[in-house]
Amino acid sequence: MRTVSDLSELKAVNQNNVELNNKAEKGSAMSGFHGLFIPGPTNMPFGVRQAMDIPLEDQRSPDFPAFTLPLFQDLKKVFKTETGQVFLFPGSGTGGWEASITNTLSPGDRVLVAVFGQFSHLWADLCQRHGLIVDKVDVEWGEGVPLDIYAERLKADKDHKIKAVLCCHNETATGVTSDIAGVRKALDAAGHPALLMVDGVSSIASIDFRMDEWGVDLAVSGSQKGFMLPTGLAIVAVSQKALEASKTAKCPRCFYDFAEMSKANKDGYFPYTPATTLMRGLRASVDTLLGEGLDNVFARHNRLAEGVRLAVDAWGLSLCAKEPKWHSDTVSAICVPKGFNAAEVIKVAYHRYRMSLGTGLSKVAGRVFRIGHIGNINEIMILQALAGSEMAMRDVGIPVEAGSGVAAAQEHFRATAPKIELAKVA
């Protein structure tokens, strides 16, 4: 029997499809779902959507802390921190960057940051706009944090002028994952006290991330990727060392102030109106992640990503990520052959096959299209993304063999699927 929420879900899906269909080829009445294969916003689990289909609530009610305090605690498990504190700001990943910088640094402070994609570029730019001195290391797009250069710079900085080391854990523009444990080693080898700040917007809750073990001081995430929610929350985990730094940091801040937030959060409340509906969704998302088990979540992402990588090989194409050590398990940026425009592939996929692929950003615009394999996604959805990509590539004349990528991924998924004994299942 259908429940009321099933029906409202169906109504919402239909409405969404009507709108997407209207935008797509006029006159063709298509059903089914529009495929969302961008690296965020990601596909929301039904249970998460249901958890947010509720009346608005009183954020100052006596029982609100019974909801918020356990949520803060459980979020720490996702970041793998026991000693850190997690803040939930209305905002997005960009707001999380701003919170991390303005709470812990002062204008004129020096930060070390490697730029190897649009998001590492934007974070460096944000630092500059806040009056910090940015020691920028330009790295070829397709590579990640250069551990050797970081180690040299830190060793050479005898006076400890560098106050923070910034790393984009997963550069979403190029599909590159960096070695954060390696950065911690470089800091320790140099005996350097700089804060370690990590952009985990497209890694946390999807790829292995260990805040305490790696000595991360600020870990920034947002709600719309691994947490499988709508955009609207900056989720920032902060170490005790960073909280201490925030007591003397002089960058102006108001909305993203750790101290104000901490004071109210201690009792389960907020200094201003919190995004209560998103937080209800976040509760369901954290339950889903912890219920699956973080290690299983990471393994699922790796398996799906591997299927995409095998498809790319079968197509005879290459990833933007230059070496396997940089391969991202949440997003693959796929280079189209010279003479072709990746934007055309994306456009054709959108209009002819009703699916969204990630676009190439900035330096790699037109050169790559991206498949997001992050969040609430499984092997059949990946096959759908690969099939649509294949069709769109062939439509624009890219000589990939029909079915080749899909077949490569299928065989990988078959070989790695859980074994079942047919006699024992109903």
Contacts with ligand PLP by CB under 6 A lie at 40, 92-94, 119, 168, 170, 172, 199, 201-202, 222, 231
Nearer to ligand PLP, 234 or 406 (CB): 234
Closest distance between ligand PLP and the C-beta of residue 347, in Å?
Answer: 20
Q: Distance between CA atoms of 365 and 333, rounded to whole angstroms?
A: 11
Nearer to ligand PLP, 314 or 368 (CB): 368
Q: Distance between CA atoms of 100 and 222, rounded to whole angstroms?
A: 13
Nearer to ligand PLP, 186 or 201 (CB): 201
Q: Is 166 exposed, middle or buried (0-12, 13-18, 19+ CB in 10 A)?
A: buried
Nearer to ligand PLP, 130 or 412 (CB): 130
Instruction: Tell me the torsion sign for CA atoms 40, 42, 48, 50.
Output: positive
Count CB-CB contacts under 10 A for residue 175: 32
Q: Taking the CA of residue 287 as centre, how many other CA atoms within 13 Å lie in the half-sphere pointing to its CB?
A: 12
Nearest CA-CA partner of 144 in 111, 97, 182: 182
Pairing, β 331-335 against β 176-177? unpaired
For 364-415, what is the HEC assignment?
Answer: HCCCEEEEECCCCCCHHHHHHHHHHHHHHHHHCCCCCCCCHHHHHHHHHHHH
Nearer to ligand PLP, 281 or 405 (CB): 281
Closest distance between ligand PLP and the C-beta of residue 8, in Å?
Answer: 27
Closest distance between ligand PLP and the C-beta of residue 393, in Å?
Answer: 24
Written as six digits, the tokens of 210 are 């260990």
Written as six digits, the tokens of 359 are 């676009």
Q: Omega of the bond prior to 41 within 30 degrees of 0, cis?
A: yes
Written as six digits, the tokens of 111 are 């930060």
Nearest CA-CA partner of 119 in 79, 176, 44: 176
Over the Cα atoms of the chain, what is R_g? 22
Nearer to ligand PLP, 232 or 405 (CB): 232
Closest distance between ligand PLP and the C-beta of residue 222, in Å?
Answer: 4
Q: What is the DSSP string of 251-293?
A: S--STT-HHHHHHHHTTT--SS---HHHHHHHHHHHHHHHHH-
Nearer to ligand PLP, 201 or 311 (CB): 201
Nearer to ligand PLP, 17 or 174 (CB): 174
Q: Residue 235 carries which DSSP code?
A: E
Nearer to ligand PLP, 144 or 388 (CB): 144
The SS3 of residue 45 is coil
Nearer to ligand PLP, 103 or 177 (CB): 177
Q: Is 309 exposed, middle or buried (0-12, 13-18, 19+ CB in 10 A)?
A: buried
Closest distance between ligand PLP and the C-beta of residue 29, in Å?
Answer: 33
